[in-house]
Structure 1
Amino acid sequence: MNLSVEIIAFYAFAGLVVLSAIVILFTRNVLYAAFSLLLTFLGISAVYVLAGADFLAVMQILVYVGGVLVLLVFGVMLTNQVAGKSVRTQHHNQFWGLLIGGALFFLLAQAIWFIDMSSLVWLQTAKTVQASTVSTLGIQLMSDFILPFELTAVLLLVALIGAAYVAQRQL
């Protein structure tokens, strides 16, 4: 079997994602779970880079690591000391998490094992190497998809104004 650097890197990052997800499931400290989630997000971003989806990799880092995870870590750190005790989680969902995760893993592994790769026409006609998807996506967003892009921006602005109004009214 010919092992290339890309295959070794893929398995390394996939292992990192799986191990950090297991740490999230088994840790009782919420701050440790948040930092393990950081490793999971970064590992998924690295897998996107290896798959040639550099735009998705950057968006993964910007949106999830830069936005969601930082908000989660700030929330945990600001509320870490409740009545003098550190915030800990209960293990009441650990059984169901293992059961559902194991079932999903079994179904995905079985689907991958029994798939006939030669019958997938889109896989055989796909380009093997593409320089960058960012410029192509930028041109498409600003030319062919300008109306949905602008409508999404207006919808997000309305949601932000609504959230600020609701937060102001409660004070």
Structure 2
Amino acid sequence: MTSRDVLFAAVGLITAAAGVLAVTSARVLHAGLWLVVSLGGLAGCYLVLGAELVALVQLLVYVGAVVVLILFALMLTRAGAGEVDTSVGHRWLAAAVGAGVTVLLGGTLIAAYGWGTREVAGPSNQEIGEQIFGTWVWPFELLSLLLLAALVAAVAVATTSRGQVDEP
């Protein structure tokens, strides 16, 4: 076992633990914060595997944009302060469904590819960068406008009280 294997196992364990805590948290805001840790740990897993570009995109898109937007909306609407109303039976059912999906996905991947390593072939980071910032730059810009519109809408919803805008 190499040091990379140990590092990958440690980061994977932190990521899995944060994912479990994100799902089992009683407060929505705490679940969102654990989701940040889980997605950041996933970026760490990508980094250990040598996929620096994928790790950077994971941090920028998921942690830096999507989750921050969700947390911002939760804090503005004060929805994150309340507890989630779930019973113990719902939690056990969710755990059983999650375990079943994990076993099904793992079994399918092992049956299809086995335990051996595979050579990954594909474009280089430079070719991907040229595609993203050349051919596909407009869809990314439109996505940023969509996220900005959602952010403005969240602020508008949070500051509107019974049809009136709160005065500072």
Asked whether the two chains share a fold, i.e. TM above 0.5, the reply is yes
2:126 is equivalent to residue 135 of structure 1: yes
For 2:24 and 2:60, the matched residues in 1 are separated by: 27
Return the offset for 1:117.
4.0
* Aligned pair partner of 2:139 in 130, 149, 152: 152
* TM-superposed deviation, 1:22: 0.9
Residue 59 of structure 1 deviates from its aligned partner by 1.0
**Residue 63 of structure 1 corresponds to which residue in structure 2?**
61
What is the DSSP-based 3-state SS (H/G/I as helix, E as strand, rest coil) of the residue aligned with 1:12? helix
The 5 A counterparts of 1:2-151 are 3-80=1-78, 86-92=81-87, 93-115=90-112, 117=114, 123-124=118-119, 126=120, 133-141=124-132, 146=135, 149-150=136-137
What residue ranges of structure 1 are gaps of 5+ in the alignment? none
Distance, in Å, in 2 between the alignment partners of 1:117 and 1:61 is 30
Deviation string 1:74-130 (CA, Å, 9 cap, x unpaired) is: 222223379xxx31112254234212211111113323444554899xx24x46xx9
Give the TM-score, by structure 1 length: 0.69
Which runs of structure 1 show a deviation greater than 6 angstroms over 4 or more consecutive aligned residues?
Answer: 160-164
What fraction of aligned residue pairs are identical, expressed as a percent? 22
AA matched with 2:139: T
Closer, same or farther: CA 9–88 of 1 in aligned 2, 3 Å: same
My pick for the range that moved more, 151-160 or 19-28, is: 151-160
> What do you get for the CA RMSD once the two structures are aligned?
3.8
Q: Output the TM-score relative to the length of structure 2.
A: 0.70
Deviation per residue, 1:1-26 (Å, 9 max, x gap): xx111111111111111111111121
Contact (CA 8 Å) 1:54, 1:133: kept in 2 or not? no
Count of aligned positions: 155
